[in-house]
Amino acid sequence: MAHVSIDGDNLIVEIEGLDKLWALKSRLTIPLAHVRGATTDPGIAKEPKGLRAPGTHVPGVATAGTFHIDGERTFWDVRDPAKAVVIQLADERYARLVIEVGDPRATVALVEGALPN
């Protein structure tokens, strides 16, 4: 699971627990100017992930780490698709972040409310 917060002009994603090990990351810092939006998307877990490099993918259990598909890099940290949030990015290492959070609607509201107009 991940915890999302806003610190000044940055979106901070803290990877929690064993997910740090599976995802091979503990924290992502993204300038808010590079965040395009956030949505809840429980169905995203059914989409193709692409090539895992590096990371973990055990169908029905966990998807965590960096995945490459169609020339884009996506960061995943999802065990429970019902709690998945997708954060679209521009001009970043990742095209999007697909993360599991405790309260998807609150996380989307936090991210959307912090975006520059």
Number of alpha carbons in the 13 Å side-chain half-sphere of residue 89: 22
Mean pLDDT of the chain: 92
- The per-residue pLDDT for range 61-104, each reduced to its tens digit, is 888 999 999 999 999 999 999 999 999 999 999 999 999 999 99
Token pair in block for residue 67? 């995945």
Listed in sequence order, the residues at least 6 apart from 36 whose beta carbon sits closer than 8 Å to its beta carbon are 88, 89, 90
Q: Where do the structural domains in the chain lie, given as residue ranges?
A: 2-114
Measured in residues, the chain has a length of 117
* pTM summary value: 0.92
